[in-house]
Amino acid sequence: MVKLKFMLLKEYNPYLEYKNGELFLEGVSLKELAKEYGTPLYVYSASYIRDRIRAYKEAFPNALICYAVKANFNPHIVALTKEEGAGADVVSGGELYCALKAGVEPSKIVYAGVGKTLQEITFAVEKDILMFNVESHMELDVLNEVGERLGKKVRVAIRVNPDVDPRTHPYISTGMKKSKFGIDIKQAKEEYRYARSLKNLEVVGIHCHIGSQILDVSPYIEAVEKVVGLYEELIKDGFDIKYIDLGGGLGIKYQPDQANPEPEDLAKAIMPSLRGVQAKLILEPGRSIVGNAGILLTQVQFLKDKGHKHFVIVDAGMNDLIRPAIYSAYHHIVPVVERDVKYIKTDVVGPICETGDFLALDREIPYVERGDYLAVLSAGAYGFAMSSHYNARPKACELLVEKGKVKVIRRRETYEDIFNACFS
Ligand SMILES: Cc1ncc(COP(=O)(O)O)c(C=O)c1O
Ligand SMILES: N[C@@H](CCCC[NH3+])C(=O)O
């Protein structure tokens, strides 16, 4: 029984293990961390993040790996990916600021997003980033104007929408016809010609991102084939396409019976279609770098038995981890200190005044008591990044652990932190 559980945790993160019934990450006791730093508490494993970047680099030795900052924008995490040689994929001025603070070279930064503001565009042009992934005709005009004003040639790729179903949650499918993202691949050639006619733009690439949490690699093959088709047409038309950026999206293990696909699986699927392509490949993985690096620790506040229904009420709410509320996402929950093998069927809910505030519904979890700590797995991506102050709750503390060492990468917020901006 214990051995089985041990194997299962390793499949999420090889640095996560029970020792004498107590959970450790990279050799650090999670119970001790929860006691010292309080809960809710995010803890990330640095070695795991390093391993994942290295796995991408091994699977795609000639590619530029641009970590998708949106998945987790803690600058210390971004700096870690930079240390391993990654660039950054950003979607806002804030993320660009974060990547630069973390030391990422502008020549390794790509910028996507359907609604870049003039201020954000100006900031990125001034910083001379590698490439804008342009999502509309109007954006081309604005980029050209900013380039002219600043006396620069702005490097652009057009984000094409290949109309491929990535077979994931509809809210995170981004490459289908009805989606707001990118330009229909069938209209792309026309937009490329238009971009070439603008004197302050330099057309350098093709961008495509079909969605997130993709576990089956076949939609990638479909998308890549369409992108390569466009690449060949553009080359024939005299374009110098230096980069093909295929976005991110590789999924991770959330449920015990799910796979944790490797970058190598993606490489095996798509590299054959890219054989004749001269352009440099760019990838923008987010979740598959940091998702299973992180866990969210929470403490049981109350138990409530309504007869027909049991509730475990914890101190982490939807303001800390919103994925279950908005995507009905599953996050595996395990005890920080094992008790016995008795299981209960329960909802695990937070303190927020919303019925949608849950971490798990009708879930069998090991028996717990008031004061126990629970670890919510796979919380490193889109966990803290999507957190809020809802119900005037200070944001959680974030820790980075590596080989037995602990670093506070974001202190717990205070009430003053929440309200300071109201009184300045
Ligand atoms: C343009 C772009 N690139 C990269 C990513 C990162 O995706 P993921 O975290 O699924 O790897 C996203 C988010 O889906 C995105 O919108
Ligand atoms: N926020 C989503 C992923 C969005 C991907 C961004 N394009 C999630 O938590 O799964």
User: Do 269 and 215 form a contact (C-beta atoms < 8 A)?
Assistant: no
In this predicted structure, what is the pLDDT of residue 1?
Answer: 41
pLDDT at position 340 is: 77
Kindly give the distance from the C-alpha atom of residue 382 to the centroid of ligand 2, in angstroms, as a whole number: 6
114 Cα distance to chain centroid:
18
Domain covering 112-285, topology? TIM Barrel (3.20.20)
Whole-number pLDDT of residue 2: 45
Strand 397-402 and strand 405-410: the pairing is: antiparallel
Phi, psi of 85 (to 5 degrees): 100, 5
ipTM of the complex: 0.99
- What ligand 1 atom has the least distance to the C-alpha of 284? 4
353 catalytic, yes or no?
yes
- Write down the pLDDT at residue 177: 74
Sequence spans of domains, the chain = 2-45+292-422, 112-285
Give the ligand whose atoms come closest to the C-alpha of residue 208: 1
Cβ of 382 closer than 6 Å to ligand 2, yes or no, is yes
- The response to whether residue 248 sits with its C-beta less than 6 Å from ligand 1 reads yes
CB atoms within 10 A of CB 412: 16
Per-residue pLDDT of the chain (424 residues; tens, 9 = 90+): 444 565 689 999 999 999 999 999 999 999 999 999 999 999 999 999 999 999 999 999 999 999 999 999 999 999 999 999 999 999 999 999 999 999 999 999 999 999 999 999 999 999 999 999 999 999 999 999 999 999 999 999 999 999 888 787 777 777 677 889 999 999 999 999 999 999 999 999 999 999 999 999 999 999 999 999 999 999 999 999 999 999 999 999 999 999 888 999 999 999 999 999 999 999 999 999 999 999 999 999 999 999 999 999 999 999 999 999 999 999 999 999 998 778 999 999 999 999 999 999 999 999 999 999 999 999 999 999 999 999 999 999 999 999 999 999 999 999 999 999 999 8
Contact partners, residue 244, CB within 8 Å, separation at least 6: 205, 206, 227, 228, 231, 274, 277, 279, 280, 281, 282
CB 298 within 8 A of CB 333: no
The predicted pLDDT at position 171 comes to 76
Instruction: Determine whether the annotation assigns residue 284 to a binding site.
Output: yes
pTM: 0.97
Any bridge partners for residue 203, and if so which? 156
Ligand 2 pocket check for 319: Cβ under 6 Å? no
**What is the CA angle 410-412-415, rounded to 5?**
130
**CATH value of 2-45+292-422 in 3.40.30.160, 3.30.43.10, 1.10.600.10, 2.40.37.10:** 2.40.37.10
Please give the biggest Cα pair distance in the chain: 72
- Residue that the structure tokens 């927020």 belong to: 352
Ligand 1 contact, 288 CB (< 6 A): yes
